[in-house]
Structure 1
Amino acid sequence: MDRRSIIKQAGLAGVLAAGVAPAVHAQETVRWRMAASFPKSLDTIFGSGVKFAETVKELSGGKFEVSVHAAGELMPAFGVVDALEKDTIEMALSAAYYFTGKDPIFAFSCAVPFGLTALQNMAWKDYGNGRKLLNEFFAKYNFQTLSALNTTTQMGGWYRKEIKTVEDLKGLKMRMGGGVFGEGMAKLGVVAQNLPAGDLYQALEKGTLDALEFVGPYDDEKLGFNKVAKYYYYPGWWEGGADLEFFINNKAFEKLSAENKAIVKAAAAVAAADGTAKYMALNPVALKRLVASGTQLKAFPKAVNDAGFKACMEVFAEHEAKSPEFKKIHQDMRAFQRDQILWNRFSEFPFNQYMNSVKI
């Protein structure tokens, strides 16, 4: 693929806006390493890293190359933030809420319960205060972020038994991404566990887990969860639009030329658009296959959703009371969300509601 085709795919206006001219100037060769928190088998998420690397190479005329490494190759899946702090790697591909053990603020960069949808997340980060506030926070860990792709609204996960009431959650051993969601579910009696993708099938098969949530139909089918759990619940109210991101080492980024900095930003934009569109295209087809193979789709009872909302709002309040920085970011996100909900009331919501009622 030549540079012209890359520019065509990314959109010429978008590439030029990022500061990348069609011509590549002479510059020294740059080699970066990207450590992912995901296995290669997840061609959606891991594939975003590959797309980024391919685009960087094309836009730089081969002068800037990024090698992409799956979880476990350079370090464990959850070791990437420590590696960025120590300048061991130049960048990572991960989900920020995996690292809420360091600080619950990490979750805002990926997803929080009853939070933003994919489009709302993009708008908050790029045209609200989201990216600015979060990168100010991440500076203490020596990195900044660019979106890698958004999963859009996720499924509520796989369960070995039906969830009919809130009582059914008590004692449930469940894998979840981490952060406020895990703390909120703990209030409902769930035993939260945070495991990397590669360990999930075996844990569910052996009964180490009673339930798990990962992403959605395409990835979940690829990981085989339907073979060891019968019930597939929706919606994943804890991930209305989970943003996976490129974590970029601040020192490495500052060493780049102005042109290479622009190439990094443009390549991330190409990868994010590609990965998000891929999920939108692949998930409905995979869902039909899952149902045909015997998976039982179930909506969470409203009482469960309501209990989850109440518990998670309590957790948000608890963190706000302890951390002014958490409160600042949370309140900013909610103010932005309120305007988005108001707009959706007159735009996407009634349109989608009508389209659900007619046959096309």
Structure 2
Amino acid sequence: MDEEHDASYKQESSPRYHGRDLAVLRAHLENCAVLLGSATPSLESIHNALTGKYSLVKLTERADGQQLPLIRILDMKTEGRNKSGPNVISERLRMSIDRRLDKGEQVILLLNRRGFARSIQCPDCGHVVTCLHCSLPLTYHRTEDRLMCHLCGFKALPPRSCPECRSANILLQGYGTQKVEELLRRTFPAARITRVDADVARRKNAVRTILNQFRAHKIDILLGTQMIAKGLDFPNVTLVGVLNADLGLHIPDPRAGERTFQLLTQVAGRAGRGDLSGEVIIQTFTPQSPSLQYARHHDTDGFAAQELEMRRTFDLPPSPISPS
């Protein structure tokens, strides 16, 4: 099983099961080996390796011998705000993109939020437009001019005034891949820019076509969600930018730090896979986060050690390691 840590192996609807665990069980019943592969193994698999349930085989360098990319963490608190709102692309990242484009190299930008704006909020009464079924904030999609729930798929027309207080000052909050694509086209007018997210993927063969164009260097900047974070091998990509590394970090989920570390490590691996050295710039408001700092140093073992210790402290899975 490749990318054994990926959450897509877990079935979300009934009957709920995990594909990785079923593969291990099937291998046991058939008396054969199962190989779980990942650059960022799940803590469950690491725990099983530490306790002797799994055998561990490590690859300590890239198959072609190339060096891992240099990762820089940029504290966005020092970037401040511009006149139009949050500074989406820092000056340092913008200059790095300019340099790569001037050399004829390619760039991948990750923003793990699709849509144009995160939510619609009234500044007068504070009301946020939410889904009628899930009570989650609706995301605005400009291409369809619709509000959409990313959980159940509910769609609605964007209100022209606040449904609560009838104020006309209702505003778009935050940003998604659609808004960033628009900004990139204004910032780099000569660059060939394409977006890959779940909205684009609905079109038949759209993702395959885009990746083939990127491989043929018909695209300079590839912007996308976690769909582009792993499994891609483009030797001409020398810069990877993460626009908001905090998106998955501050959510009420004990695996939030683990998933953020995995995502950052995986997307960082897209840079410098050819003869040219790679660079990764991670924009964040919490540069001190262990998930970011261990990802910066490509230190999976270090992250796993501190995360497992935290899980043991708070009695969270995987099961605590029994003392020898």
TM-score, length basis structure 1: 0.22
TM-score, length basis structure 2: 0.23
Q: Whose relative contact order is higher, 1 or 2, with alpha carbons under 8 Å and at least 6 apart? A: 1
Larger fraction in helix: 1
